[in-house]
Amino acid sequence: MFPDDNACLEWLKNARYPSGILCVTCKKITKHHKIKNRPVYECDRCGHHVSPLAWTIFHKSSTPLRIWFDAIHEMATTRTGFSAKALQRKHGVTYKTAWRIFRQIRTLLDENARIFTEEVEVDEMYMGGKRKGIRGTSLIGKSAVVGITQRKGNVASKVVTDVSRYTVVPLIQKNVTKKAIIYTDESAIYNNLDKYGYNHKTINHAVKEYVNGNIHTNNIEGF
Ligand SMILES: [Zn+2]
């Protein structure tokens, strides 16, 4: 599947933007073309650049994508047997490079890396239409997505069957430690977080409240 780095990049682009790239300047999905010798795609209409490597473990790495992709394949299929040393031997990279690649990939395979603590924001939305369309109205064709972020830390998002406390609360319990302060909007989905042992603070968007001291969900909404 991956004869060269361009094939890897093209795969990443299609995986990250399955319905096309939304150009932030044009504010719509536009045609993009690959820039020669750079891991970047350019908007045909306005020339804005986007890199499928941004916010990924491949960002700013000088190691060819093919080596990364092969390492992911090896680690995902032979998780116990494949080491940084084996990666070094197979691809002729330095041990330092092999170890860095190995560690980055392992972070993604390791569920413990997804533990959120301290100050955490949670938000949910239906995507594929207007942002946060009124609940209960025409959600056909939209995907329910829950996002969790630790302030100044990682972010995770997951597509769920629907946004209700039955899908959202278990996700929080699985990913957020009890020591965390959780910030959400006033949605009833989050009503019982206190009972589950979380320190829960809400912002009341309904009355046009967006920031109350430290209480806001601006990070996860931005994401
Ligand atoms: Zn554009």
Contacts 24+ apart (CB under 8 A), 46-51: 48/23, 48/24, 50/21, 50/23
Query: Which residue would you say has higher pLDDT here, 137 or 73?
Result: 73
Distance 35 CA to ligand 1 centre (A): 14
Q: State residue 131's pLDDT score.
A: 47
Four-point Cα dihedral 48, 12, 65, 87, nearest 10:
150
Q: What is residue 170's three-state secondary structure?
A: helix
Query: Which residue would you say has higher pLDDT here, 49 or 212?
Result: 49
| CA–CA dist 132, 146 (Å, integer) | 12
205 forms beta bridges with: none
* Range with top average pLDDT, 110-119, 129-138, 149-158: 149-158
Nearest to 27 by CA among 12, 43, 39, 14: 43
**pLDDT tens across 37-47, in order?**
999 999 999 99
pLDDT at 110 over 70: no
**Average confidence (pLDDT) over 96-110:** 86
**Average confidence (pLDDT) over 102-120:** 78
Q: State residue 136's pLDDT score.
A: 52
Distance 79 CA to ligand 1 centre (A): 41
pLDDT at 130 over 80: no
Distance 130 CA to ligand 1 centre (A): 20
Which spans in the chain are helix H?
5-16, 65-77, 84-91, 95-109, 165-175, 218-222
